[in-house]
Amino acid sequence: MATIVPEKLTRLFINVQQLWQVPRLLEMAFPSSPCTVSTSDVPKVFWKPYIHTGYRPVNQTWKYYFLTLFQQHNEAVNVWTHLVAALILLLRFRRLSQTVDFVSDPHAHPLFIIVIASITYLTFSTLAHLLQAKSEFWHYSFFFMDYVGVAIYQYSSALVHYYYAIEPDWHARIMGFYMPGAVLLAWLSCAGSCYAKYRYHQLPHHLSRLCQEMPLGLAYALDISPVIHRLYTAQPSEQVDPALLYHKYQVLFFLISAFFFSYPYPEKWFPGKCHFFGQGHQIFHVFLVLCTLAQVQAVALDYESRREIYTSLHGDQTHNFSALCFFTVACCLLTAAYMTSKVKCKLNCKEE
């Protein structure tokens, strides 16, 4: 017994010594390059309106950019908002998989697609904002990948709204063109965003916005129409349905996020004050995450409570919708690959 206490004290002393080494180990692990630089130190393609500093230096190692996950720069909030949301949805997917048979129940496939698509677009966005500062080529490449993720999420949103949320009378009106239109507009959103990014400093600003925002706006108008129709025609007795409340939230959050996506506020109101926090794109990220979480919750509730309606409307068409999803993914990936090759040629010509 006499030796037990001294031994425990010795172990405690060793553990305290190890803790004192943590700051030095972290300092050795983190990059030694300056954390942020100003617009004068990075190519024009990296510039953001009204953001004059907080940029990471280009042409560093991949390790440097991965470790900037834990540093302060003007993309840090964009990275963390979507990274945390992706982790939340992974946990949500785990919980759903305990009660939903995604393999044997074909009517659960659209729910599976929207959850996976949401995690995909959040992951692609996280990687784009974290790693795009590597070089001009990787800046374009990662954001093209980001646009592919957004297009997949658009199609998936259209699918679950059409499959779970739609009312029979609205289904009868739009069944002939809704899903083909969703595929086309998802691809146009990807292609338009890639082209706008590719020609960002060559096209007039309003034309660049038009290429990106018009397909996005048209896609959302089509995708959300089953939800809007259901909210508009809901009887007073149906207003207690919790799914309707979450659908209202997802519409509200999306409209707020769309505003901050389209306009550089509040940094335009406070130039020089929003280099790290408070940028419109950061606010856009937060509300888009809230929109996605509300949407997933709404369609999960619809999956549970509206089975009689959607089984009678769609029968055994889930395989067709899954095939359309793969087709959309393939078209968007090919478009992104083509635009990446255009960027490579453009940069090679620039170097010559």
Residues at the binding site for Zn(2+) are 129, 281, 285
Query: What are the binding residues?
Result: 129, 281, 285
Q: How many residues does the chain have?
A: 352
Nearest to 77 by CA among 232, 223, 275: 275
If you write DSSP's letter for every residue of 49-81 in order, what string do you get?
TTB-S-BPPSS--HHHHHHGGGS--TTHHHHHH
Cα 1 to Cα 4, 261, 287, 324: the distances in Å are: 5, 68, 61, 72
Please state, in angstroms and rounded to a whole number, the distance separating the CA atoms of residues 244 and 234: 9
Nearest-5° angle of CA 263, CA 142, CA 281?
20
The SS3 call for residue 276 is coil
Helix axes 205-223, 136-160, angle to 10 degrees: 30
Please state, in angstroms and rounded to a whole number, the distance separating the CA atoms of residues 340 and 333: 10
